[in-house]
Amino acid sequence: MPVSSENLLKAIKAMRESNPQRKFAQGVDLSINLRDIDPKKPEGRIDLDITLPHEVGKPHKVCIFGEGELARRARDAGADLVLGRADIETLQRERKRAKKLADEFHFFLAQADLMVRIGKALGPVLGPKGKMPKPIPPTADPKPLIEHLKKTLKVRTKNQPTLHAHIGVENMSDEELAVNARAVLDAVEHRLEGLSKVRSIHLKTTMGKPVRVEV
């Protein structure tokens, strides 16, 4: 049975009431604990890109690997960083810098003919984080892709059967937080073909206590 909007709003209200006031707007996270799933096995791994209806604070950072005209269009379209062939070779040698790049940026796009080079050079760094670039043709307009990714949330299992999703900040309205939470839950429900493998769902602020969402 899907989680009702009423139960989501009820949990958000309880989360606010149990959370001490801070001098800054805390983040709001949704945690989904799973059962009967082994994330160490391929069939138990969940890796979802979910576009949220409402922005969650700072837009996600997008890096594009491209050359020439595509690189120019990417910069004009608002890419946070544009790297070329020479940069890929440098990152292959400088593993520490490559790891920092993988941590700093949420999503990567790459000119299609650079994908093999990136796979060899950066696959060991980007692959385990689920951040291998999505290929785009050299003639493509990267603007809609960049705008889409800046509002996209990556939700994936790691070593434990738990999904964590940053769905907003506490100065958003209850309704906005509920709609974002609903987008995540709907995507997970679709991936799992129902909620039978969901053990529990919780909401919490950055420094607050988890509040259980009734299913």
Which pLDDT score is estimated for 143? 94
123-155 per-residue burial string, b: 16 or more CB within 10 A, e: under 16: eebbeeeebbbeebeeebebeebbeebbebbbb
- Residue spans per domain, the chain: 5-57+152-212, 62-150
**Mean pLDDT of successive 10-residue stretches along the chain, which has 215 residues:** 86 90 86 91 87 84 95 95 96 95 95 95 93 92 91 88 93 94 94 90 92 92
Which pLDDT score is estimated for 126? 96
CATH number of 5-57+152-212: 3.30.190.20
**The pair of three-digit structure tokens given for residue 133, joined into one six-digit string:** 């670039």
Contacts of 15 (CB under 8 A, 6+ apart): 28, 203, 204, 205, 208, 211
**AA identity, residue 95:** R
Q: What's the full length of the chain, in residues?
A: 215
What is the number of H-type helices and E-type strands within the chain?
7, 10
Whether the domain at 5-57+152-212 and the domain at 62-150 fall into the same CATH topology = no
Q: Which residue from 188, 186, 178, 206 is spatially nearest to 11, judged by alpha carbons?
A: 178
Q: Which residue from 125, 121, 120, 66 is spatially nearest to 89, judged by alpha carbons?
A: 121
Which pLDDT score is estimated for 1? 53
**The pair of three-digit structure tokens given for residue 160, joined into one six-digit string:** 């434990």
Q: What would the pLDDT profile of 9-26 be if each residue is shown by its tens digit?
A: 999 999 999 887 777 888
Q: How far is CA 96 from the centre of its chain?
A: 23
**The pair of three-digit structure tokens given for residue 49, joined into one six-digit string:** 């890109």
- Euclidean distance between CA atoms 13 and 166, whole angstroms: 17
> CATH class for domain 62-150?
alpha beta
| Global pTM value | 0.76
Q: What are phi and psi of 21, to 5 degrees?
A: -70, 135
Contact 81, 74 (CB under 8 A): no
44: left (phi over 0), alpha (psi -120 to 50) or beta: alpha
